């Protein structure tokens, strides 16, 4: 039973290119969350998705960032026209529920994006 | 001011010492999480608490809902415990709000 799988682990992009980060949740988990960790800063919420729906995108930058979680396949975080300030570790987490006392997260290993 | 405050920011200890990391938050929550992150590594969920106390091996987590405070204790610390420990809370939404972390180094 694989955990949350993120790929790639490391991604290098030149300024202006597109970055695509993938997250496959744990089997049976239908809720996916993306978090960003800027260098020397804490983790910040970006977006919460369920299958085919964006539930909360209040942490997403208004431009260049988008996320999806299609019916089939992994969740994708897409960053268009990357800039140096996008360099960070991007973590995905999944859970089986959205409410209730047993609501726990499983985190992926993260994708470390470096923009050169 | 961060909604979730952790202390200390940095902590060094000798192997075998008892360690306590504290977390305070500002308003009522539905759950609190303790997470562990090794340098350059992923994030491991250690505990999820909504009340009381939980224990797993040498780790103990407690929460006081009235005082809006949680502690993570490590008994008989070991160099492999060296990591960043992060407190995160969930209010009535589905997202986590994170503290800035406590960097722990345990020396042999």
Q: Which residues of B touch A96 (CB under 8 A)?
A: none
Per-residue pLDDT of chain A (116 residues; tens, 9 = 90+): 568 999 999 999 999 999 999 999 998 888 999 999 998 888 999 999 998 899 999 999 999 999 999 989 999 999 999 999 999 999 999 988 655 445 678 899 999 999 99
Residue of B nearest to A40 (CA): B100
> With contact defined as beta carbons under 8 Å apart, do A3 and A106 qualify?
yes
pLDDT recorded at residue A78: 98
User: Nearest-CA distance from A15 to chain B in Å?
Assistant: 23
Percent of chain A with pLDDT over 90: 73
Residues of A in contact with B83 (CB under 8 A): none
* Residue A13 · residue A115 · CB < 8 Å: yes
Q: How many CB pairs under 8 A join A and B?
A: 58
């Amino acid at each position: 039973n694989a955990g949350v799988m993120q790929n790639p682990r490391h991604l290098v992009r030149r300024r202006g290119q597109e970055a695509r980060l993938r997250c496959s949740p744990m089997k049976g988990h239908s809720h996916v969350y993306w978090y960003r960790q800027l260098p020397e800063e804490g983790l910040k919420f970006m977006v919460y998705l369920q299958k085919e729906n964006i539930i909360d995108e209040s942490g997403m930058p208004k431009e260049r960032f988008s996320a999806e979680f299609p019916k089939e396949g992994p969740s994708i975080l897409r960053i268009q026209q990357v800039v140096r300030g996008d360099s960070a570790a991007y973590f995905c987490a999944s859970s089986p529920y959205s409410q209730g006392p047993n609501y726990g997260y499983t985190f992926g290993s993260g994708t470390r994006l470096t923009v050169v | 001011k961060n909604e979730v405050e952790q202390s200390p920011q940095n902590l060094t200890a000798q192997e075998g010492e008892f360690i306590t990391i504290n977390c305070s938050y500002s308003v009522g929550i539905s759950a609190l999480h303790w997470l562990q992150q090794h340098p350059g590594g992923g994030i491991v969920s250690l505990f999820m608490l909504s009340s009381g106390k939980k224990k797993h091996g040498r780790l103990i987590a407690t929460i006081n809902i009235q005082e809006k405070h949680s502690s993570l204790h490590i008994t008989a610390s070991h160099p492999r415990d060296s990591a960043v420990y992060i407190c995160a809370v969930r209010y009535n939404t589905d997202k986590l709000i994170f503290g800035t972390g406590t960097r722990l180094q345990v020396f042999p």
